[in-house]
């Protein structure tokens, strides 16, 4: 490169960076919704969603309502209180995250609604409904939906109906039926499965599925409908004294008892006495989510799955099905779920990818995306912070990534929580590298975190709060520079 080409390149990079910062500031401070879009007849549908369920449901409601009203569909974080005062009819579709908290794209709205400065806000014009998504395995079931409902009432809005709670544990988020729709897009054929680490305590597997004609983006999720093992189905039939070959019709489809039970919740309480009634009373298994670990250009949809063992010694339903029971060339019922919160925009500013354990899935997908030779705009630097337990048995980073990570633009930090010499978690490494984290954020950088919520996700969030302060972290969330896929 000649000196003048280098200068031109530097100028171009600076211009792109200045434009990006301007866009971020505009996005953060602009009036969020177009006032012209709002009039007395507008039906507002606002969602807050961490991993896409509430968003998908809100989109479905928006489609249904579009024939009747001018519908305005928006993320809750894109709605301001003053805009809400102009709305007469609204539906809020919100999930609960963390320990009874709002999802990231609901936090700023929730804070404004609670802020004592807004105590005099009147929403008397507004009639609203809230559909709350949650999971009854969590102690604070649908807590954010409940809080939002109460706060809207406190500000004078009128509830159209009682709060609707949808329980993911009971398959109530409306997705299971889709797995039985005709069409191949919901069937994923297993091509290969390998155990990545060298331990039987916490085995971690990589699975590859054929992915012809499928499209997704790095950050997206595969929801699977787990099947029961043949052993569990046989045991249930034996305990209920029902023949596996018992035939019956359900919603115009012919079934045998054995086939019917493949996707049904076998631990549901039983009340009915007739064999067919006991069978048809069983709800479908609840779906399980897995971060997609590859990009479509790789021609395979990959997952990285931790085999989960329950206290009774059995395998977890979803991870057990994927890592043990399903065999190569067999079908997994699944659906790709877009997760826009983790679609990291391609910018020249630096990118910090943090992941531990099965969170390697998200790291792998993002790294594949950002190191594609054909990608025109790339982060100037990528910093990869990866955590596992034992350095000798669990260090699966290099073998999992197709991308060479020995590069001048990629920094790799590996930490191991059970390393005899230097036990460390990713959050410890972050605190230790506080200066670098600040510099990355000051340079307009983005942060992506993938892995379990407890321990890693919470720890990383705490470390970022300690390093950057609450206001900055909230700013990063609001301006979509802090992307969290934690579960
Ligand atoms: C957005 C997202 C992305 C994810 N990505 C990944 C990934 O890339 N890789 C990965 O390995 N995992 C990922 N997970 C986690 C994954 O979805 C599963 O939670 C995990 O595999 C364990 O599920 P399981 O079915 O094997 O275990 P389960 O059978 O669900 O058991 C897990 C625990 O759930 C509780 N539980 C389950 N059923 C009941 C019940 N009926 N009553 C009471 N308690 C119950 C129990 O406490 C049990 O210990 C992700 C999760 C989310 C939300
Ligand atoms: C890390 C994590 C924390 C969660 N915390 C709660 C909770 O406190 N209360 C609850 O009812 N549901 C909780 N859930 C369940 C989600 O609300 C539920 O899966 C919902 O369908 C997710 O919708 P979303 O994809 O729109 O975020 C949690 C889920 C995850 C992954």
The string of DSSP letters for 364-413 reads: HHHHHHHT-TT-SS--S-EEEEEEES-HHHH--HHHH-SS---BTTEEEE
The atom of ligand 1 lying closest to the CA of 359 is 8
- What SS3 state is found at 344? coil
Say if ligand 2 is within 6 A of residue 291 CB: no
The closest residue, in CA terms, to atom 4 on ligand 2 is: 97
Closest CA to 209 of 196, 221, 191: 191
Domains of the chain: 35-170 (3.40.50.360), 176-337 (2.40.30.10), 344-486 (3.40.50.80)
The atom of ligand 2 lying closest to the CA of 51 is 25
How many of the other CB atoms lie within 10 Å of CB of 71? 18
Q: Dump pLDDT digits (tens) for 209-253.
A: 999 889 999 999 999 999 999 999 999 999 999 999 999 999 888
Closest CA to 206 of 197, 220, 196, 218: 196
pLDDT attached to residue 23: 64
Say if ligand 2 is within 6 A of residue 106 CB: no
Q: Dump pLDDT digits (tens) for 266-296.
A: 998 877 679 999 999 998 899 999 999 999 9
Say if ligand 2 is within 6 A of residue 141 CB: yes
What is the b/e burial string over 302-333, where b = at least 16 CB atoms within 10 angstroms of the residue's CB?
bbbbbbbeeeeeebbbbbbbbbebbeeeeebb
Alpha helices, H only, 160-206: none
Give all strands (DSSP E) within 119-163, no chain letters: 127-134, 158-159
Q: Dump pLDDT digits (tens) for 333-376.
A: 999 999 999 999 999 999 999 999 999 999 999 999 999 989 99
How far is the centre of ligand 1, averaged over its atoms, from the C-alpha of 106 (Å)? 24
pLDDT attached to residue 32: 56
pLDDT tier at 52 (50, 70, 90 boundaries)?
A: very high
Residue 474 has pLDDT above 90, yes or no: yes
CB 350 within 8 A of CB 382: yes
Counting ligands in written order, which one lies closest to the CA of residue 360?
1
Q: What is the mean pLDDT of residues 291-320?
A: 97
Residue 298 tokens read as 């790789």
Q: How far is CA 322 from CA 200, 209, 312, in A?
A: 16, 11, 19
Q: What is the mean pLDDT of residues 12-21?
A: 68
pLDDT attached to residue 41: 82
Question: In which residue are the tokens 């060298």 written?
Answer: 198
How far is the centre of ligand 2, averaged over its atoms, from the C-alpha of 24 (Å)? 28
Q: What is the pTM of this model?
A: 0.91
* Among the ranges given (173-187, 263-277, 412-426, 437-451), the one the predictor scored with the smallest mean pLDDT: 173-187
Across the chain, mean pLDDT equals 91
Say if ligand 2 is within 6 A of residue 134 CB: yes
Q: What is the mean pLDDT of residues 387-396?
A: 96
pLDDT attached to residue 25: 56
| Ligand 1 site-directed mutation target among 294, 318, 357, most atoms within 8 Å of CB | 318
The atom of ligand 2 lying closest to the CA of 337 is 25
Length of the chain: 487
| Ligand 2 site-directed mutation target among 54, 59, 135, 164, most atoms within 8 Å of CB | 135
CB 279 within 8 A of CB 241: no
Q: What is the mean pLDDT of residues 318-330?
A: 97
pLDDT attached to residue 17: 65
Residue 184 has pLDDT above 50, yes or no: no
- The residues, any chain, with a CB within 8 Å of residue 250's CB and separated by 6 or more, are 260, 280
- How far is 2 from 38, CA to CA, in rounded Å? 54
Burial of 297 (0-12, 13-18, 19+ CB in 10 A): exposed
Say if ligand 2 is within 6 A of residue 56 CB: no
Q: What letter would DSSP give residue 424?
A: -
pLDDT attached to residue 351: 98
pLDDT attached to residue 34: 53
pLDDT tier at 424 (50, 70, 90 boundaries)?
A: very high
Q: Dump pLDDT digits (tens) for 436-459.
A: 999 999 999 999 999 999 989 999
- DSSP β-bridge partners for residue 331: 189
Q: What is the mean pLDDT of residues 407-426?
A: 94
Residue 413 has pLDDT above 80, yes or no: yes
Burial of 373 (0-12, 13-18, 19+ CB in 10 A): exposed
pLDDT above 90 coverage of the chain, percent = 80
The string of DSSP letters for 30-60 reads: S-SS-GGG--TT-EEEEEE-SSSHHHHHHHH
Rg (CA), the chain: 24
pLDDT above 70 coverage of the chain, percent = 91
């Amino acid at each position: 490169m000649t000196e003048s080409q280098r200068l031109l390149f530097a100028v171009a990079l600076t211009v792109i960076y200045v434009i990006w910062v301007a866009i971020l500031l505009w996005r953060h401070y602009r009036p969020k919704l177009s006032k012209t879009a709002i009039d007395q007849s507008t039906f507002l549908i606002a969602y807050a969603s961490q991993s896409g369920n509430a968003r998908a449901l809100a989109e479905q409601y928006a489609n249904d309502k579009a024939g009747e009203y001018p519908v305005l569909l928006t993320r809750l974080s894109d709605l301001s209180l003053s805009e809400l005062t102009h709305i007469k009819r609204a539906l809020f579709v919100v999930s609960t995250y963390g320990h009874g908290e709002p999802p990231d794209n609901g936090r700023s709205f929730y804070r404004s609604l609670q802020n004592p400065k807004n105590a005099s806000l009147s929403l008397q014009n507004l009639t609203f409904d809230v559909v709350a998504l949650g999971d009854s395995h969590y102690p604070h079931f649908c807590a954010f939906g409940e809080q939002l409902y109460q706060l809207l009432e406190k500000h004078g809005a009128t509830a159209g109906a009682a709060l609707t709670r949808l329980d993911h544990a009971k398959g109530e988020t409306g997705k299971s039926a889709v797995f039985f729709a005709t069409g191949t897009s919901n069937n994923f054929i297993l091509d290969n499965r390998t155990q990545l680490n060298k331990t039987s305590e916490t085995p971690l597997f990589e699975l590859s599925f054929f992915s012809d004609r499928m499209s997704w983006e790095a950050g997206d999720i595969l929801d699977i409908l787990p099947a029961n093992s043949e052993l569990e189905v046989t045991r249930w039939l034996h305990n209920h004294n029902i023949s596996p070959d018992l035939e019956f019709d359900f919603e115009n489809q012919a079934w045998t008892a054995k086939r019917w039970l493949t996707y049904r919740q076998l631990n549901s309480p039983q009340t009915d006495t007739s064999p067919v009634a006991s069978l048809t009373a069983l709800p479908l298994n609840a779906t399980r989510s897995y971060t997609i670990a590859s990009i479509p250009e790789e021609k395979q949809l990959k997952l990285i799955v931790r085999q989960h063992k329950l206290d009774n010694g059995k395998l977890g339903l979803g991870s057990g099905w994927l890592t043990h029971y399903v065999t190569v060339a067999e079908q997994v019922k699944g659906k790709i779920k877009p997760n826009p919160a983790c679609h990291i925009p391609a910018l020249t500013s630096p990118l910090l990818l943090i992941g531990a354990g099965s969170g390697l899935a998200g790291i792998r997908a993002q790294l594949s995306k950002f190191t594609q030779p054909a990608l025109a705009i790339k982060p100037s630097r990528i910093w990869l912070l990866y955590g596992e337990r034992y350095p000798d048995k669990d260090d699966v980073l290099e073998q999992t990534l197709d991308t060479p990570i020995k590069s001048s633009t990629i920094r790799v930090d590996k930490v191991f929580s059970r390393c005899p010499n230097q036990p460390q978690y990713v959050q410890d490494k972050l605190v230790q590298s506080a200066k670098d984290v600040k510099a990355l954020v000051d340079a307009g950088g983005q942060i992506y975190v993938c892995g379990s919520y407890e321990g890693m996700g919470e720890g990383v969030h705490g470390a970022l709060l300690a390093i950057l302060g609450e206001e900055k972290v909230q700013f990063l969330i609001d301006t979509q520079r802090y992307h969290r896929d934690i579960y």
